[in-house]
Structure 1
Amino acid sequence: MPRSVALGPVAVLLACVLIGCDGGVKGAAGASGVRDPYFPKLGNGGYDVTHYGLTLDYRPAGRKLVGKAVVAARAGSDLSAFDLDLKGMEVESVEVDGKPARFNRSGDHELVVRPRDDLDEGASFTTVVRYAGSPATITDPDGSEEGWLPTADGALALGEPTGAMAWFPGNHHPGDKATYDITVSVPEGLRVVSNGELARETVKEGRAVFAWHVGEPMASYVATVAVGKFAVRRSEGKGGVPVYAAVDPTQVADSEEVLDRIPEIVEWGSRTFGAYPFSSVGAIVEREDDAGYALETQNRPVFPGAPGVGLLLHELVHQWYGNSVTPESWRDMWLNEGFATYAEWLWAEEHGGDSAQEVFDLLYAGDYFDKKSDNDAVWAFPPARPPSAARISDSPVYERGAMVLHRIRQTVGDEVFRGILRGWAAAHRHGNADTGDFTAFVEAKAPGADFSEIWDEWLYGEGKPDRS
């Protein structure tokens, strides 16, 4: 047993900041993580963010970012301290409700904040963080790069799963969604494209300022900022949904035809999955080497080079499944990717391509991909149980996840299945849900059906299910 040590007042205060205090202090420190199965230190306990106001100044020549983050939140418990996720960057000051707050850095990405006054459970509070530095490019567990990516003419911020903490402090877990205002200043001649709608665009003293407003809740992993020279395409789809697409000049010719189909895809999605969940739509098309993958950033997905129709459709369908209905944890990624993949099958079925049944049969037979290893990879693990953080974007999450949906369709029939697609998107619109929520929802929509084989063998079971 260690010997006891008398702590002075400074040491006591530091201990309270780091771990919270009992007795004499009303609140405790919020948890430094929400125990996500794959990223346990992402997100933070004790509060819920309602709005982010981000004001950024970026200078590409030196890769220098100066930021001010105004984080409005509600305390979920009595708090003497709480954490924000922020990787790298130099924090200059922190205020809580207008009063200077003590802070320190802990671990890889924890910014620990100690308000001057304890926060009461249920109280709304505002934290202002001023910070600066060169934002990091993060390599995630599967080897993909995210965070703040330098591009040929600016930068691109991508956040799935951990990259958002590279450029602003926040509660960076998909379970905590918020609205946003993102204002970015860049050298005149460059543009800034982000989520939501462009509220203001001004130029003053050689600096161009772009203010974007996101009025619907958004998970931080689908927040984006793209800085560069873009050709902008504005139009309007059926139902009045504005379309805003920003295209790198080198990609304009190759992108024109496919981007013209955005209103068509959104209209088809609205018929198939229910009303489009956001107030605008579009795309950001960067150069092919600016990112290693496409991402379903809210309102306007990001593409490295001109996408094909299938990829454009996949990322736009994520606006329903992933961005509006957002997974409760990273374990539930198949609810994003399985739905978007199955949407590709439905689109092909209705537009002269293979039927969903034919795609299902090819996958099951091992004849879908050109390589045997790719066909075998479909059965590497069950879609609802990826073995590690490095595997949450592997084939079982996509293709086998889509096969689970097709097995549901086979069981309940087309009419009930279409109702499940629309009903699931409506029931959790702008919210969060997990796999248990989904299986319960399906069972409630088809009370006479037996789904035990689908859940046990296709969704949770190891290996290739027996096809009966």
Structure 2
Amino acid sequence: MTTSRPTTRRTLLKGAGVAALAVPLIAAPAWATGFDPKPGSDGVGDPLFPTLGNGGYEVVHYDLTFDFTPVTYDFTGVVKMNARATQDLSAFNLDTDGHTIESVTVNGRPAQHALSLGKSGQELTVTPAAPLHKDTPFTVTVAYRGNGKAPRAGLTGWRFGSDGGFASAVQSSRADTFMPCNDTPSDKATWTFHLSAPEGFVAAANGELTGKDKRADGSTVWHFALRERMPTELLGIAVVKGTYLYGTSHTGLPLRHVVPQGQEDKYGPIVARTPDHLAWLEAKFGRYPFSVYGLHIYDGYSDALENSTLTLMGTSWFKLNADGNPTYENTMVHELTHQWFGDSVTPNDWQQAWLNEGPAVYYAALYSEERGWSVMADKMKATYAKLDAIRASDGPPGLPKALGGTNIYDGGALVLYALRQHVGQRKFDLIMGQWPRRFKDRTVTSEDFVKHAVEMTGDRSVDAFLRDWLFGAKNPPMPGHPDWTTAA
């Protein structure tokens, strides 16, 4: 925001003669200028997490400098957030949890700041030296420090391995345990990272490795850039004793994986399956939507998480099933599907989470079926039998009462299976294939999906059909399977 030197009485008289005496020398009231700064809200009204995120601004870019010490888990950080005011702002909030705030500046000027307890963590309220005008770009820089194992007011996103390092697993509301941020899926931004790792450790982050700088103490600063927009819930940073393994997809996409140090022979063949997984999914959804991909396999994590461009998976996943089949590939495909459904096309709020999990479960089941490891119809029939009870207790797939339930995952896949039965394979493939192309890099809702499905099929009956399946209290009849019933 540019400012001009205030006009004084002396310059008015010099430039305008006697007529200048009629000019009032008081500031115009807010109603006259249209400038009416007020604090931004301390939440964006997410149906499941009302206090997540903050109002009054949109983030354009995060630049995170993170200096971590393994074993002690101490860290210092500086986050620079470039944003745009969406209202006249007198103050605004950032989500944070467990950090000591050293300093805050707005546009390079020291800003007042205060920490308070929120419902999912802490709120950092920032009051700029001068209020911000609507549509004005501004930069916030926060210097902070903390310890990865320190108590938090809310849930933590830190995952610690046997090596004394860490990996981040922050879905859905835990990015604030690593950095002050606008922690809501509705506010996507581009990112740069500068992560320090001591000798013997490597750093990893979302996006492409753009360079490394060696420091006098033997540590290295690793620089990464994610040029596609990402919400905070997909933050994937780590400092571990790991080895980078490199490759390319069948179309030339750069691949980089991080596997446990000394276990390259074990995990190398596993991550080498990625090009085939990419080819299988690209045939359905089009070109992979980011500029790099890979897996981070870490013993400090037991689940699997679709961090943008760098899926995090625990070491415990990679075992053959009773028949000797590598069914862990189903999970690899599940998380890779998320790069289109959830990472590139992101739900606007957490009540739309079936848009992430439904496709991931569906296509993992399809992949398994094509390899003869399972039968999709059997899985869908079992889900159908129990989903009525789950709708009653946890909400239907499109209106869940909480995250992480069968209604979102298997129930979301069942909605897609029913849609395929209703419209036929060709039209279903059109719906699913065009969705990530049409809404790439955007945030979406269930309403967007319903409208999209109607437009792709030219069939108005799809509207009511999907609404019954997504929002109804009971399962509708399954097309093509009149014998399917719900459990008593």
Under a length normalisation based on structure 1, what TM-score does the superposition of the two structures give?
0.87
Secondary structure of the structure 2 residue equivalent to 1:127: strand
Does the 8 A contact of 1:32 with 1:41 survive in 2? yes
CA displacement, residues 190-236 of structure 1 (integer Å, 9 cap, x when unaligned): 11111101111232222121111111001111111111111211011
Q: Does 1:447 align with 2:458?
A: yes
2:4 aligned partner:
none
Give the whole-Å Cα distance in 2 for the aligned partners of 1:415 and 1:379.
Answer: 33
Give, in angstroms, the shift of residue 139 of structure 1.
8.7
- Aligned partner (choices 370, 381, 384) of residue 398 of structure 2: 384
CA displacement, residues 148-184 of structure 1 (integer Å, 9 cap, x when unaligned): 2232221111110111000111111000000111111
1:288-437 alignment, distance < 5 Å: 290-305=300-315, 306-307=317-318, 308-365=328-385, 380=393, 381-388=395-402, 392-437=403-448
Give, in angstroms, the shift of residue 40 of structure 1.
1.0
Give the aligned residue type for 1:229.
K
1:207-226 alignment, distance < 5 Å: 207-226=219-238
RMSD across aligned positions (CA):
2.4
1:76 aligned partner:
86
The 1:425/1:248 distance shift into structure 2, 3 A limit, reads same
Give the aligned residue type for 1:328.
N
CA displacement, residues 353-394 of structure 1 (integer Å, 9 cap, x when unaligned): 44543432343356xxxxxxx996587531111123xxx111
The 1:137/1:402 distance shift into structure 2, 3 A limit, reads farther
Give the whole-Å Cα distance in 2 for the aligned partners of 1:405 and 1:264.
Answer: 24
Does the 8 A contact of 2:292 with 2:309 survive in 1? yes
The 1:416/1:160 distance shift into structure 2, 3 A limit, reads same
1:133 aligned partner:
146
Give the whole-Å Cα distance in 2 for the aligned partners of 1:86 and 1:135.
Answer: 13
CA displacement, residues 65-110 of structure 1 (integer Å, 9 cap, x when unaligned): 1011110001111111111111111111111111111111122311
Q: Does 1:244 align with 2:264?
A: no
1:165 aligned partner:
176
Does the 8 A contact of 1:342 with 1:405 survive in 2? yes
The 1:378/1:341 distance shift into structure 2, 3 A limit, reads farther
Give the whole-Å Cα distance in 2 for the aligned partners of 1:44 and 1:138.
Answer: 23
Give the aligned residue type for 1:274.
G
Give, in angstroms, the shift of residue 464 of structure 1.
4.0
1:259-278 alignment, distance < 5 Å: 259-278=271-290
The 1:190/1:116 distance shift into structure 2, 3 A limit, reads same
Give the aligned residue type for 1:384.
G
Under a length normalisation based on structure 2, what TM-score does the superposition of the two structures give?
0.84
Give the aligned residue type for 1:237.
S
Give, in angstroms, the shift of residue 32 of structure 1.
0.6
Give the whole-Å Cα distance in 2 for the aligned partners of 1:138 and 1:41.
Answer: 20
The 1:146/1:265 distance shift into structure 2, 3 A limit, reads farther
Give, in angstroms, the shift of residue 274 of structure 1.
1.5
1:103 aligned partner:
113
- Aligned partner (choices 167, 180, 190) of residue 179 of structure 1: 190
Give the whole-Å Cα distance in 1 for the aligned partners of 2:90 and 2:277.
Answer: 49
Give the whole-Å Cα distance in 1 for the aligned partners of 2:262 and 2:287.
Answer: 34
Moved more, 236-245 or 452-461: 452-461
Does the 8 A contact of 1:411 with 1:449 survive in 2? no
Q: Does 1:121 align with 2:137?
A: no
Give, in angstroms, the shift of residue 146 of structure 1.
4.1
Give the whole-Å Cα distance in 1 for the aligned partners of 2:93 and 2:110.
Answer: 16
Secondary structure of the structure 2 residue equivalent to 1:72: strand
Give the aligned residue type for 1:117.
A
Does the 8 A contact of 1:93 with 1:130 survive in 2? yes
Moved more, 84-93 or 442-451: 442-451
Q: Does 1:52 align with 2:62?
A: yes
Does the 8 A contact of 1:379 with 1:396 survive in 2? no
Does the 8 A contact of 2:207 with 2:227 survive in 1? yes
Unaligned stretches of 5+ in structure 1?
1-21, 367-373
Does the 8 A contact of 2:113 with 2:124 survive in 1? yes
- Aligned partner (choices 283, 286, 294) of residue 298 of structure 2: 286
Secondary structure of the structure 2 residue equivalent to 1:451: helix
Give, in angstroms, the shift of residue 61 of structure 1.
3.1
Give the whole-Å Cα distance in 1 for the aligned partners of 2:267 and 2:152.
Answer: 28
Give the whole-Å Cα distance in 2 for the aligned partners of 1:394 and 1:197.
Answer: 33
Does the 8 A contact of 1:26 with 1:118 survive in 2? no
Give the whole-Å Cα distance in 2 for the aligned partners of 1:215 and 1:441.
Answer: 27
Give the whole-Å Cα distance in 2 for the aligned partners of 1:138 and 1:222.
Answer: 22
1:65 aligned partner:
75
Number of residue equivalences: 433
Q: Determine which structure has more spread, i.e. the larger CA radius of gyration.
A: 2
Give, in angstroms, the shift of residue 349 of structure 1.
3.7
Does the 8 A contact of 2:258 with 2:295 survive in 1? yes
Does the 8 A contact of 1:283 with 1:302 survive in 2? yes
Give the whole-Å Cα distance in 2 for the aligned partners of 1:454 and 1:251.
Answer: 50
CA displacement, residues 314-372 of structure 1 (integer Å, 9 cap, x when unaligned): 00110000000001000011000001011112223433444543432343356xxxxxx
Does the 8 A contact of 2:247 with 2:256 survive in 1? yes
Does the 8 A contact of 2:302 with 2:313 survive in 1? no
- % identical equivalent positions: 32
Give the aligned residue type for 1:86.
T
1:227 aligned partner:
239
Give the whole-Å Cα distance in 1 for the aligned partners of 2:238 and 2:442.
Answer: 26
